A = this chain, B = another copy of it.
Amino acid sequence: MPKKPLENLTESMFYVLMAFGRGPMCGIQVVEFIEERTAGRIQMGPATLYTILGKFEQENYIEEVSVEGRKRTYQITSRGMIAYREEVERLQRCVADATAEMTARLYSGESLRQERGLQVCPC
């Protein structure tokens, strides 16, 4: 079990934390949330789900709030919320970097060269 917060969530982990933004829920509800939120793009199997839930509980990103029979309900912790917000920011930085890079190339005329498959100035 890691001491430091996970510094790079996977897409699956990200959506699991997003689910708990809706409030406490059990594993199955998380899967349903993800399927709905991503319009079916992401379908998480039980192995991935419970692996992540286990890790998140160790990591103190979520905590158990009730057990009814087999059904375990979790809620997100403040630590989990921080991790989620940081992940949103990381994703935004990636997109921003991509955008900045595209813009830079446009202004340097690089896009023309790329389109034509040229390695050097076409002049």
Flag whether A79 is at the interface (Cβ < 8 A).
no
Judged by DSSP, the binding face of A is helix
Within 8 A of B (CB), among A81-118: 88, 90-95, 97-98, 100-102, 105, 110, 113-114
User: A93 CA to B94 CA in the complex, in Å?
Assistant: 12
User: A101 CA to B33 CA in the complex, in Å?
Assistant: 11
Task: Give the chain B neighbours of A11 by CB distance below 8 A.
Answer: 8, 90, 94
Question: This chain: how many copies in the complex?
Answer: 2
Once A23-B110, A65-B119, A75-B119 are accepted as A-B contacts, the answer to whether A41 and B93 lie under 8 Å apart by CB is yes
Query: Which A residues are within 8 Å of any B CB, using their own CB?
Result: 8, 11, 14-15, 18, 21-24, 37-38, 41, 65, 75, 88, 90-95, 97-98, 100-102, 105, 110, 113-114, 119
